Structure 1
Amino acid sequence: MKQELIPVYEEVEEQIKKISNNKEKKSEPICISGKPIYLPLSGHKIEVTYYEAKKKNAPIIFGVYGGEFTTDNYSYDDLFWNMIHSEFECNVVSISYKNFRKSKFPCAINDVYDVICYFMKNASQLDFDTDKVIIFGSSIGANFATSAALLDRANNTNYIKTQILNYPCLDLTTSINKNICGDFITPDKYVNDVAELKNPFVSPVYASKEELKGMPKTIMICGEEDNFRYEGEKYAKMLQNSGTEVYCQNYSEMEHGFVELYFLLKYMPLKSQTLSNKMKENFISGKLYKSVMSAIQFIKEHCI
């Protein structure tokens, strides 16, 4: 099956090909249309990439990238966030949280929450719908996203109305056994003490029913072949039992990170050599593309 383009990229296909085929600069970042902004927050600066919606009073999505525990270069996710910005016709704020090597728990979560607070407190100067505030995270980014939502509720700010969690990592007490180590920093290096691995803001599956009360509407995407699927499904049931509106979809033959993997295979093939043969086969057959587009439509259907 022919590999279709995500519509938003038709006009930049040549630019992407040029960068992805640059063998001497494999790590050169791709930034298509997002605007880098440095926010002055409590004596320090946080970088975000802002994608402004064309229409007035549009929803706003705060994006929390996933990926390696060692990574603080999120610019490759511009491909993903630019697509979300276009497909959802909304504002997107991609947040550059602190790298785990430099800052331990709870710095990354505080960064995410502080950025949301900054935008909400300056809403009169910005143009977005304050009643349609969404947080969207993938993998470990989904962990930070739902932890920021927990913090939002604990502080009674209640800014976040919807959370979108793509294949979330929600139990870091077991993550060390799920093949995410290797070049990654293991979860015990993220926390200040191993006892913190059971802190609900580190491993949200340890949150109590009381702590989960009032959590925002949740949309969850899981992959059938993803080891993290079970903790995602467990958390979805926990949220439902606490009274939260939850929509969860599981995709057959899909592995962890399958949405981002499509972009990697399509636009940056030089960086896709470590992917499983199964995902490469799903890409060639078109099954990966269909799953990605189905996931996007599922999120859109329940999100806005």
Structure 2
Amino acid sequence: MPDEPAADVQAVLDAIEAMDAPDYHELTAPEARDLRRGFFDDDGADASADAADRTVPGPGLEIPVRVYRPDADGPHPVVVYFHGGGFVLGTLDSRDPICRTLATDAECVVVSVAYRLAPEHPFPAAVEDAYAATEWVAANAGAVGGDPDRVAVAGDSAGGNLAAAVSLAARDRDGPDVAHQALAYPVLDYREDGYPSHEENATGYFLEAAGMAWFDDHYVDSWVHRANPYLSPVAAASHADLPPATVVTCGFDPLRDEGLAYVDALEAAGVPVTHRHYEDLIHGVASMVADPVDTRSGREVLAQFAADLREALHGRPPEPQR
């Protein structure tokens, strides 16, 4: 393993350190949201994917979503996308560059979901919102220009957790037929099992132990939830009959070993897995693809993520770029 992250990512870490801003885990949730707002928001994304905001029915409420359509004739596969942010932070805007890229490069409709956030809405509110949105998309794919037989779930970090949880819930509840689950550096185990990566990458690599504890305290309001598979998908009694998966892990990420554990669990259950491991990258790198934080590493990770989704949903790799 390298001694430090890739040069372009290390430059981002150095710039964050030089900002001398307060750590969000020293703030209230609303203060932290204000601090983070705009940090990864897009000011100049490729606008080739058309986007429109709407709501879909949820558990006693309307859930805001943003629908991205590729510039090509459909119907297209649909990817229901869940943003990261520790279940406390994150917005539709914060993942706009990712969703536009997936819509264009994977040639699919992307439905990005603004699920309820903690601490105002602790576990399992986000899971139930994510499941309800996926259920609606599967039943109403034509309304967004999508193909109901090719519905996938995807997400980064906390959103990766939700994509895995929705995959489990769809199996357990005889729900939507999920064609694929694509998880970028997901959080997958709240049982405090002492993964080595938690200690190895506790500080200095964007997502830190203190921040993880802050997210944990906001999202998980009782210890009784920790082994619930919809909170800790690695802890599921069985991983059989789950959708094929793409799982991204990064060497300098405290969540690295949770991702590896999920890959192992899926493979042991006979679920096809494409595992992309980036030894010299950090948590959150796929969001570093637009001003004010734009890296070559982030673009490469996101391009491969889109390529894997395209192959999974279309049965073919990306077309050569001219």
SS at match of 2:214: coil
SS at match of 1:202: coil
Q: TM-score w.r.t. structure 1 length?
A: 0.77
Please state if 1:191 is matched with 2:215: no
User: Aligned partners of 1:142 and 1:129: how far apart in 2?
Assistant: 22
Alignment of 1:101-140 (within 5 A): 101-140=119-158
Aligned with 1:245 (options 257, 261, 272): 272
Equivalent residue letter for 1:236: V
Alignment of 1:102-251 (within 5 A): 102-174=120-192, 178=202, 179-182=208-211, 185-209=214-238, 212-251=239-278
SS at match of 2:67: strand
* Greater share of strand: 2
User: Aligned partners of 2:286 and 2:144: how far apart in 1?
Assistant: 30
Q: CA deviation at 1:300?
A: 3.4
- Are 2:67 and 2:109, in contact at CA under 8 Å, matched by a contact in 1? yes
Task: Give the number of equivalent residue pairs.
Answer: 262
Match of 1:35 in 2: 52
Alignment of 1:293-304 (within 5 A): 293-304=303-314
Q: CA deviation at 1:121?
A: 2.4
**Higher RCO (C-alpha under 8 Å, 6+ residues apart):** 2
- Are 1:58 and 1:127, in contact at CA under 8 Å, matched by a contact in 2? yes
- Going from structure 1 to structure 2, the CA distance change for 1:26 and 1:268 (only over 3 Å counts) comes to farther
Q: CA deviation at 1:124?
A: 5.0
SS at match of 2:98: helix
Match of 2:97 in 1: 79
Q: TM-score w.r.t. structure 2 length?
A: 0.73
User: Aligned partners of 2:148 and 2:80: how far apart in 1?
Assistant: 12
User: Aligned partners of 2:142 and 2:52: how far apart in 1?
Assistant: 20
Aligned with 2:67 (options 50, 60, 83): 50
Structure 2: state its 5+ residue gaps. 1-7, 9-34, 203-207, 315-322
- Larger deviation: 132-141 or 194-203? 194-203
Q: CA deviation at 1:55?
A: 1.8
User: Aligned partners of 2:36 and 2:167: how far apart in 1?
Assistant: 35
Q: CA RMSD in A?
A: 2.7
Query: What fraction of aligned residue pairs are identical, expressed as a percent?
Result: 24
- Are 1:219 and 1:303, in contact at CA under 8 Å, matched by a contact in 2? no
Structure 1: state its 5+ residue gaps. 4-24, 273-282
- Are 2:127 and 2:162, in contact at CA under 8 Å, matched by a contact in 1? yes
